[in-house]
Amino acid sequence: MHYFNYNNNEMYCEDVPISKLVKKFGTPLYVYSGKTLLRHYKAFDESFKPHKHIICYSVKANSNIAILNLFAKEGSGFDIVSGGELYRAIKAGGDPQKIVFSGVGKTDEEIEMALSKDILMFNVESESELYAINSVADRLNKKAPISLRINPDVNPLTHPYISTGLKKNKFGIPYESALETYLKAKKLKNIEIVGIDCHIGSQITQLSPFLEAIDKIKALMKELERNGIEVKYIDLGGGLGISYKDEDPPHPNEYGEAVLKRFEKIDKTLIFEPGRVIVGNAGIHVTRVLYTKENTEKKFVIVDSAMNDLARPALYGSYHSILPMNKKDGENDVYDVVGPVCESTDFFAKDRSLPKLERDDYLCIFSAGAYGFSMSSNYNSRRKSAEVLVMGDKYYLIRERDTFEDLIAKEKIPQ
């Protein structure tokens, strides 16, 4: 379980019992394993060792600055999609020359902020964005380094809500228009073309969609060269999946081998934007049982976490493994595990077989390191969870739980 294991029937993160963390910090609580984070980062990075490359960790997956700092110390760059993520990456010790700025809706303010920090490049998602970047760069008397994000119309074989490389998705520039848009970019005096970018989706568990997209990108690269456009960087995005239940995604080694085979004789720096594959299984979400109840149809376990704390099941119907903090003997029962929020989508599991549960038991929700806290909210005026990082037998509070004062800190009653 990636350094989350039972020891004498009690769940541990590395060398620290979860019960100790719960006692000190309460619930709902995010707990991350530092050893897992570093192991996953290094496994991904080393898979591309034979070729020039930059790992740009995808900040959106988990944006806590303590975690970003861990990766920055390993030499990681960052893939960002907002001014806020740029601010976090810099504050965490990130090198601006290893930061790529993706996303379909960059504002002038964000473009200016990124140019002032001298980031590696913008992944441009539309022709109108290209002109906006050129205009801001002109005003600042700078040249903006760009790649175009190409939408290759490849089916990533993943959940439709996290697919980004099909024609019907909002992301990127259509493959058919790519050359024409590059030629327009070439004429702009405050634009420097440095790369090609492609990202087809998230939680992808097969190699074939990646390889299909790469073949299209390589064909485009040759066409660009015929038109006098040389690029330094090929950004292949992220999207490699993890195992939540019974998925069998390729190991980063397998992915690396297949990708590098296609770039054997191509002297370009490859950029990768892994997120979930590094942090997903490095975190758990711990919650306390408040009540159990049943009606003629169902048995429910009501916990103190809710969809505002971990939104993935409510958003995508996602599966997360759930285990009790303390192992229990006896027969299992079948429950819906639900939260206190006033929505029928506020659940973590439906019809899940679990040991018989009662008030003040604790549950560990696994694979919560990616898109867990980073997607959380204060809906129903609920306070956001605390976050804890474990390193061996030591642990660190890396985000305090919200206070009630935090909930209204920015609000004003007019006189």
- Catalytic residues, by residue number, are 342
Left, alpha or beta for 381 (phi > 0: left; psi -120 to 50: alpha)?
left
Give the integer Cα–Cα distance in Å for 133 and 129: 6
Q: Is the Cβ–Cβ distance between 176 and 204 less than 8 Å?
A: no
- State the pairing for strand pair 29-33/53-58: unpaired
Q: Is the Cβ–Cβ distance between 94 and 72 less than 8 Å?
A: yes
Give the integer Cα–Cα distance in Å for 244 and 320: 6
DSSP states of 206-270 as a string? Answer: -SHHHHHHHHHHHHHHHHHHHTT---SEEE----B---SSS--PPPHHHHHHHHHHHTTT---EE
DSSP states of 260-296 as a string? Answer: HHHTTT---EEEE---HHHHGGGEEEEEEEEEEEE-S
DSSP bridge pairs for 3: none
Give the integer Cα–Cα distance in Å for 47 and 51: 9
Give, in order, the Cα–Cα distances in Å from 348 to each of 61, 169, 322, 395: 19, 28, 9, 26
Count of residues in the chain: 415
